[in-house]
Amino acid sequence: MKRVLFDIAALIARIITGVIFVAHGWQKWQGGHSAIASGFGEMGIPMPELAAGYAMVVELIGGVLLIIGLAVRPVALLLLANMLGAIIFAHWGKGVFVGEGGWELAAALGALCLLFLALGGGRIGIDGILSAMFRRRHERRAAEEDLVSYRPNRTDTTTGSYGATDTGSYGGPTTPARSTAEEPPDVPRQPGAPQQEPQQRPPQSRLNDEDMREIDSLVADEPPQHRKPPNR
């Protein structure tokens, strides 16, 4: 409710302030740039030609922008600088009342411009409409990003979401395509199991027949029969 009241009050203040500036700016345009620059020179305003052109453009165009609510803060800054120059160089030392050339009107307009500079022109205006559009677009983009972050990832046609099956876009899992040439499974070696040594061929025996007979007699618990040496 407070925000709505502020928007309405800001709209009324913008329109009234803008109409006053447009009226003064249009009066200066009707008088002509040379006449306004001559009057500024008589008031002691430095660079009267530049100051006259600045005042004419800022008051006329700035007043229109205040009415429609476009670029309110930059326009308020320019108009505030214009009013400060008018107070310092044209109205200071002549009292308060505007009928005596005082600074009351310039100060009131400058104070309104200061409020617009600090608080903006409200939501009822072009600035408010553009701001609402950009804010809604940003919120929509943030909502879409959040939706994408919580949506399950789409999988391809080969591995699926976890590298085992293909789930498609939103359907259930399907059986993956098997390769034509199946390889034997590579069974990993269990930890702690003894590693099998490659089979080696037994070494060739170098025992002669007599040695083999002695071995057989020992196994059969019979005394070995020694061969008698041949007679010489």
Q: How does pLDDT run across 157-193, given as a tens digit for each residue? A: 444 444 444 444 444 444 444 544 455 555 555 555 5
Question: pLDDT tens for residues 56-81?
Answer: 999 999 999 999 999 999 999 999 99
**C-alpha closest to that of 176 among 186, 167, 189:** 167
Question: Is the CB of residue 172 less than 8 Å from the CB of residue 166?
Answer: no
Model confidence, pTM: 0.62
DSSP 3-state assignment of 166?
strand
According to the model, what pLDDT value does residue 225 have? 53
Distances (CA, A) of 205 to 88, 212, 220: 125, 10, 21
Residues contacting 91, CB < 8 A, separation 6+: 101, 102, 103, 106
